[in-house]
Structure 1
Amino acid sequence: MSWVILVVSGLLEAVWAAAMQSSKGFRKWRPTVLFALAMAASMGGLAIAMLEIPTGTAYAVWVGVGAVATVLLQLARGKERMSLVRSLLLVLLVGCLVGLQLVS
């Protein structure tokens, strides 16, 4: 269950990153509230996951899931473009995250 919580927390990292950008420097209240809620839930989930997963592994997976999800979210929103090299690097990153889970 800790791994599920960790992955969901990583996905919430993408939500708060996008909300932070949309808040325009915390001047728009709705994205600012979404940012605060998503960040609190993301950090809380990371803390819960670290009760059973080693800190280094949990943090690396949390950041990695958040990074991949953020890129994919920005691609879906049309804010970034995908290239072959970028695709390969994202696949490599996901492979490393799966590897960390397998050796834990």
Structure 2
Amino acid sequence: MKDWTFCPRCGDRTRLDGDGADTHVRCPACGFTKYDNPLPTTVGLVLDGDRILLLRRAHEPRKGGWDTVGGFLSGAETPKRTSSAKGWRRSAANSGPSASPGRIRRSTAKRA
């Protein structure tokens, strides 16, 4: 992590932020953040015809930005189970009592 002296996005000097396991490289000029986190992750795409479900990030890094469904694998979860569970928890699709992962009802939310 300490060898990330310059930002790959804008070329400005970076600095180390955070403590302990949360230490990361951050560029004060453009906001680029690099976490040294070699954990396995999963990413999924939720499609509806020619549309794709994008989620608004609620937390850093990139809070407020758009993202796909995904997250870190934990314990003995399979990639398929993790994608399903993460997408389920992070979307508005679970708005009804009969909805469950694997059987998601069409949302009644208004489109932007």
TM category (shorter chain) comes to: under 0.3
* TM-score normalised by length of structure 2: 0.26
More strand per residue: 2
Larger radius of gyration: 2
More helix per residue: 1
* TM-score normalised by length of structure 1: 0.28
